[in-house]
Amino acid sequence: MINQLKDVVTGSAEIAKAMGVTLKYFFKKPVTHQYPDEPVEVYPRFRGRHVLKRYDNGLERCIGCALCAAACPTDCIYVEASENTDEKRYSPGERYASTYDINMLRCIFCGYCAEACPTEAIVLEHDFALAEYNRWDAIYPKERLLEPHDPDYIVLRSDEEFKLSETWGKK
Amino acid sequence: MSDNVTLTIDGVQVTVPKGTLIVEAAKQIENEIPVFCYHGKMDPVGMCRMCLVEVGQPAIDRGTGKPELDEDGNPVVRFFPKPMTACTTTVSEGMVVKVDTSEAAVDDRKAVLEFLLTSHPLDCPVCDKGGECPLQDLTIRHGPGNSRFDYEDKQHFPKRYPLGDLIVLDMERCIICARCVRFQQEIAFDPVLAIENRGRRAHIVSYSKPGFDSHYSGNTTDVCPVGALTTRDFRFGARAWEMTNVPSLCNHCGVGCNTVLGTRAGTIRRIMPRQNEAVNELWICDKGRFGHHFNGSPDRLTTPLIRKGEELVEATWDEALSLIGEKFGAIKSANGADSLGGIAGARLTNEDLYVFQKLFREIIGTNNIDHRVGLSAALEDETAFTVGVGVGTDLGSVGKGTTILNIGADLDQDAPILYLRVAGASVKRGAHVINAGGRRTKLDAQVQTTLRYNYGSAARLALGLLASVVSQGLVAKEWADSRTSGMADLEKALKNFGADKVAEATGLTTNAIDAAAKAFAEAENGIIIFGLEAGNDPALRAALEALALATGHAGKPNNGVIAVLPHANSRGAIDMGILPDRLPGYKPVESNAGLSAVEMLTAGGVKGLLIAAADPAVESESYKQALQQLDFLVVQELFLTETAQMADVVLPAKGNAERDGSYTNLERRVQTFDMGVPAPGKAWADWLIFTGIAGQLGADWAYASADGVMAEITQRVPLYAGMDFKNLTAPISLQRKTEHYIYEGMSFTTDIREGIQWATVAESDSAPKIPLRFIEPAKASSQEQGLTLVAPRMLYDGGRLLAEADVVNAHILEPQLMLSRSDAQKLGVSTGDSVTVSQNGTAITVPVYIERTVSEGVALLPRNLAGRPAEKLVGPNGLYSTVKVEKS
Ligand code: SF4
Ligand code: SF4
Ligand code: SF4
Ligand code: SF4
Ligand code: FES
């Protein structure tokens, strides 16, 4: 009998405590987003879906060197190169990528490809919403990667401060 | 005094023969001195200065003439004040070389690299050499981390300059090492490249017309230590590290060059040479390098086809094979086994051919098989069995003391890499090469003696040489007595034959013949090479065999006879008994000989025919008519050829890059190749198809792989004993490797295999004596007046296997009659005029081209060109005939 009474008292105290927490958050700013109705914020250095860049004059930056493919730890980039001609020119110089596929299902977004690229053609941008209805569609061909991709459900946070540490790069 | 010297390199002692270069001596102790211009196959030039080392020599006391000693009693070493190039300096006794132990030398090499890079474009990401580039590798190993030179101050040249239509030059990348120039000069003997200008403006040029006119041009892209030379075929085909390197063999001629297929994503991207010092050293010709596109052709057969009325419709393997079984079975039971026959081309592997002959001989029960259609019918050879070149022959090393007699082979066109080796033996190593032919060929310029005989008299020339050997008393008596029989009869026959008639028939002087005979007989080593244009004459072969035997030039390395047979496995086809009268291993058939290909391709010859890897329908109209009259024709092919279009069943076969197998080259070397790429559609390997057909006819063979077939061959064909794939694919021994491993300038490696040669009768001391044969040459055909029309085989011809190779297509000639200037003048024609060429009522009209290199009295019209005009006149199996040429 006495035990039951004890339970009721402590139980009520717990509930009150929990409700207190609820009450506290009730007045705070919510952390959830109305995604996708409201955009999500990501840090500028967040590594998401790749984009192949162009120069201002419209030529492709990619020269089909396949160094990205060589650097990729999951081997998910496939590059075939061809030769530019004066009539059909895709990139400056002699060589361009005639095929450039990335298998997004395999990519681990490490960014090594962007690191390896001598022309800063491949860049990991910010999109993370990469679901597809068909697995084959997860292999992004060159045409798709070359499209500028700036989805409106992502915005960059502006509060990231980039500080170069004195000790970086030193043992 | 001993012929060795001992020196110290970076503190390690090494003893090498006198005259060795420091780089080579260092290589022996695995001290790799960096080089760019030095190449083990070429003379050193010391152009790039990459190999700078410090060199010292023991000091000699002038007074006593003894080596000076320091307090501890060690010899004092005096170093030269300036660094020396290790690639041009030969070793001497007591020499001390500092490679990595000398700070000065390390600094010097660093500076050389910094200089080389001052004008280098550093476009490694788009450079085909990137990833296998000596300049990259050596910069990382020996170079400075950065440059003190102004990046903007680089020398600029056009980036994509075509030296010829096969090779593209990027002069900005060139480091002026002259390897390409020297390769063309010293190894290919086509000096078509040169360096123009000096200093920073120096650049590579080709003044030949057309540009870079050489059958060996692709090799310069291999020896180039940077990406300055690239092939138009491969340019940007793949990065070096992306390709799988598959050991393979070239299937375009009988040399059997070892190659590497660079494959990626199921396609062949490039073909590179694979080192085999006994066959192709480090080289392949451009046909072998660029002629691989048939493999991936969209026109390949992908599924069996069965004739339904006029149409060939797709079928399954089961349907096709059971139809063949049914029809062949019916023909056999109605007309007997000899109403069936088979023709197999000499491009099939030993395994295919063995199963093929087994199918016909054991399952069907007929000897009606042959490989001799087209060029294969233009040259036969059984001399290899008795007097083929000895096991261990290496044309790449013979020199002084060796005489090579070449009769009727245009090596530059028929067997390009053999040409390099023979020309090299002559020019670089001082062998005496006698080039006998009916017309001028490229080899003439590289040899000491040329003999120009009248077409059709090669057998007489050979007999004349033999007679001259006998009359000059140059017979190697002891050897000939112990190993041959019938010398007395031969001498008698030669006397009756009359040596005096030879000079007249051949158009040569007796002196010339005597001198050639003497040079051949007296040489330490003697090699006879004969080819297509000598004519397909048993008298010639008997005479050459007797010549080799009588002079003792048989049965040992670097001695014997080589027939320049036309196809990749022509030798294997003969070894495997694809002949109506011979079983595998040169055994005569036990029962009646069967029909030859020509007989089978005569109307009424056979009722059912199986043709694999041969296309007789294009060779001649009469073959075509005979094929039309067959009851049942099965064709096994890569493409829907003209013959295949006439077939009742067409079976798709795998190309040689799509399966494994073995070929036997013209020096009887059995070599294997691996599978590189997947076959299109449902194609099968040829041996598997034959096995399938045999199964339909009641056989219960269980071959599971080419390897398995070879295992049976080793059991049943004594010549091939021990040649199972395990032995054939065994990598070469470590010792051979250190002797020969000089993959200079190529950083990829793949299995080096040397193959196995089978031994001739002359090599076995216990074999019965070899009878010396004499065959009276056929009477020269009635002395028709006119020009001799020669239909030589060209390297680049209209064959199906080259049709897809776009880059070499421009090199395939349009049919044209090549005449000497004097003959053209006699006819009153000049280049571009058309003439009518006729013989026995057949006439063709072709344009004339006046060609400096053609000899008088000879007109050239290569065979196997568009429309095949030459074959109409010389016949499908001939190489020459006398024709009338008139202006039309
Ligand atoms: S991010 Fe990493 S895993 Fe993804 S493609 Fe680039 S290198 Fe490959
Ligand atoms: S994206 Fe960059 S690294 Fe990849 S192929 Fe193109 S240029 Fe080369
Ligand atoms: S093109 Fe290549 S091989 Fe020729 S000189 Fe230049 S670097 Fe040497
Ligand atoms: S020489 Fe003959 S075997 Fe060698 S690469 Fe040329 S065609 Fe092929
Ligand atoms: S100078 Fe010795 S390798 Fe070039």
Which amino acid type is present at position A53? K
* Residue B588 shares a structural domain with residue B720: yes
Per residue in B783-825, pLDDT (tens digit) is 567 889 999 999 998 888 888 888 888 888 899 999 999 999 9
CA–CA distance, B228 with B172 (Å, rounded to integer)? 7
Q: Is the CB of A146 under 6 A from ligand 2?
A: no
Q: Is residue B602 part of a domain?
A: yes
Judge if the beta carbon of residue A113 lies within 6 A of ligand 1: yes
Same domain, B362 and B420: no
Q: Which residue of A has its CA nearest to B127?
A: A65
Residue whose CA lies nearest to ligand 2 atom number 3: A117
Question: Which three-class secondary structure state does DSSP give residue B55?
Answer: strand
**Does residue B169 or residue B785 have the better pLDDT?**
B169
Residues with CB under 6 A from ligand 3: B 174-180, 204, 223-226, 228-229
| Token output for B495 | 């006397």
**For helices B350-358 and B706-716, angle between their N-to-C axes, nearest 10 degrees:** 70
If you take atom 6 of ligand 1, which residue's CA is the nearest one? A113
**Per-residue confidence band for B745, with pLDDT thresholds at 50, 70 and 90:** very low
CA distance B156 to chain A (A): 14
Residues of B in contact with A115 (CB under 8 A): none
Whether residue A130 contacts residue A107, with contact meaning beta carbons closer than 8 Å, is answered with no
User: What pLDDT score was predicted for residue B742?
Assistant: 54
Return the pLDDT at B707: 95
If asked whether residues B399 and B548 sit together in one domain, one would say yes
By alpha-carbon position, which residue is closest to atom 1 of ligand 5? B46
**Which of A62, A65, A101 to mutate against chain B (most B CBs within 10 Å)?**
A65
Tell me which chain B residue has its CA closest to the CA of residue A80: B238
In the block, tokens 């007109």 appear at B859
Residue B110 lies in a domain: no
Contact between A67 and B236 using a beta-carbon 8 Å cutoff:
no
CATH code, domain carrying B823: 2.40.40.20
Residue type (1 letter), A81: A
- pLDDT at position B18, please? 94
**Distance to chain B for A110, nearest Cα, Å:** 21
d(Cα B97, Cα B110) in Å, to the nearest integer? Answer: 18
B399 versus B500: which is more confidently predicted? B399
The domain tally of chain B equals 4
Q: How far apart are CA B669 and CA B677, in angstroms?
A: 25
Given pLDDT bands bounded at 50, 70 and 90, which one contains residue B841?
confident
CA distance A65 to chain B (A): 5
Contact B242 A66 (CB under 8 A): yes
The pLDDT value recorded for residue A169 is 58
Q: Clarify whether residues B429 and B517 are in a common domain.
A: yes
Q: Is residue B146 very low, low, confident or very high in pLDDT (cuts 50, 70, 90)? A: confident
Q: Is there a domain that residue B294 lies in?
A: no
Q: What is the dihedral of CA B545, B548, B552, B557, to 10 degrees?
A: -100
Sign of the CA dihedral B6, B8, B14, B19?
A: negative
Sequence-ordered strand ranges (E) for B72-217: 77-79, 84-85, 96-98, 161-162, 167-169, 193-196, 203-206
Measured between beta carbons, the chain B residues lying within 8 angstroms of A81 are 126, 236
pLDDT at B802: 87
Peptide bond into A39 cis (omega under 30): no
Does residue B114 form part of some domain? no
Q: Helix %, strand %, coil % for chain A, to 5?
A: 25, 20, 55
pLDDT band at B1 (very low <50, low <70, confident <90, very high): low
On whether residue B551 sits in a domain, the answer given is: yes
Across B364-369, average pLDDT: 96
What digits encode the pLDDT tens for the residues B665-715?
A: 999 999 999 999 999 999 999 999 999 999 999 999 999 999 999 999 999
Backbone angles phi, psi at B484, to 5 degrees: -130, 165
- CB burial string B209-221: b at 16+ within 10 A, e below: eebbbbbbbbbbb
Nearest atom within ligand 4 for CA of residue B252: 7
* Mutation to probe ligand 5, out of B24, B33, B50, B744 (largest number of atoms < 8 A from CB): B50
Same-domain check for residues B506 and B547: yes
Protein residue with its CA nearest to atom 3 in ligand 5: B35
A40-156 is a CATH 3.40.50.970 domain: no
User: Hey, is B751 helix, strand or coil?
Assistant: coil
- Report which protein residue has its CA nearest ligand 1's atom 8: A72
Tokens of B653: 């076969």
Q: What are phi and psi of B286, to 5 degrees?
A: -70, -25
Are residues B425 and B518 located together in one domain of the fold? yes
pTM for the model stands at: 0.93
Cβ–Cβ gap A95/B159 under 8 Å = no
Ligand sitting nearest the alpha carbon of B36:
5
Average pLDDT of chain B?
92
- Candidate from B160, B236, B265 with C-beta closest to A81: B236
Mean pLDDT, residues B91-96: 94
Say how far residue B736 (Cα) sits from the centre of its chain.
22
- Give the pLDDT score at B672: 96
Residue B276 is given by DSSP the state B
**In angstroms, rounded to a whole number, what is the distance separating the alpha carbons of residues B469 and B513?**
10
- Whether the per-residue pLDDT at A166 is higher than 80: the answer is no
B402 and B353 co-located in one domain: no
Q: Which amino acid is at A50?
A: H
Rounded distance between C-alpha atoms, residue B174 and residue B172, angstroms: 6
Residue B454, in any domain of the structure: yes
What percent of the residues of chain B are helix, what percent strand, and what percent coil, each to the nearest 5? 30, 20, 50
Single residue among B563, B588, B617 that ends a domain in this structure: B563
Q: Which domain holds residue B549?
A: 383-563
How far apart are the C-alpha atoms of B658 and B28, rounded to whole Å? Answer: 39
Other CB atoms within a 10 A radius of the CB of residue B448 amount to: 14
Same-domain status, B500 and B642: no
ipTM over 0.90: no
C-alpha B782/C-alpha B875 separation (Å) is: 18
Same domain, B557 and B582: no
Query: Does A67 contact chain B (CB < 8 Å)?
Result: yes
Instruction: Name the average pLDDT for chain A.
Output: 91
Q: Give every CB contact of residue B351 below 8 A, 6+ residues apart in sequence.
A: B661, B662, B687, B706, B709, B710, B713
* Domain co-membership, B527 together with B594: no
pLDDT greater than 90 at residue A21: yes
What are the pLDDT digits (tens) for B436-492? Answer: 999 999 999 999 999 999 998 999 999 999 999 999 999 999 999 999 999 999 999
B252, B261, B570: residue to mutate for ligand 4 pocket, most atoms within 8 A of CB: B252
Residue B581 in any domain: the answer is yes
Q: Which residues contact B325 (CB under 8 A, 6 or more apart)?
A: B693, B695, B696, B697
Q: What is the CATH number of the domain that holds B52?
A: 3.10.20.740
* Residue-level pLDDT at B778: 82
B242 located within any domain:
no
Residues B374 and B388 in one domain: no
- Cβ atoms of residues B850 and B821 within 8 Å: yes
Q: Looking at residue B536, which CATH number applies to its domain?
A: 3.40.228.10
Domain limit, last residue, from B510, B540, B563: B563
Res B866: pLDDT: 86
Last residue of a domain, one of B537, B563, B589: B563
What mean pLDDT comes out for the span B326-337? 96
Of A49, A121, A114, give the one whose Cα is nearest residue A91.
Answer: A121
pLDDT tens column, A35-81: 888 898 888 889 999 999 999 999 999 999 999 999 999 999 999 99
Q: What is the CA radius of gyration of chain A?
A: 25
Cis status, amide bond into B121, omega within 30 of 0: no
Single out the residue of B879, B841, B886, B840 nearest to residue B860, CA to CA.
Answer: B879
Q: What is the pLDDT of residue A167?
A: 65
Whether residues B603 and B539 share a domain: the answer is no
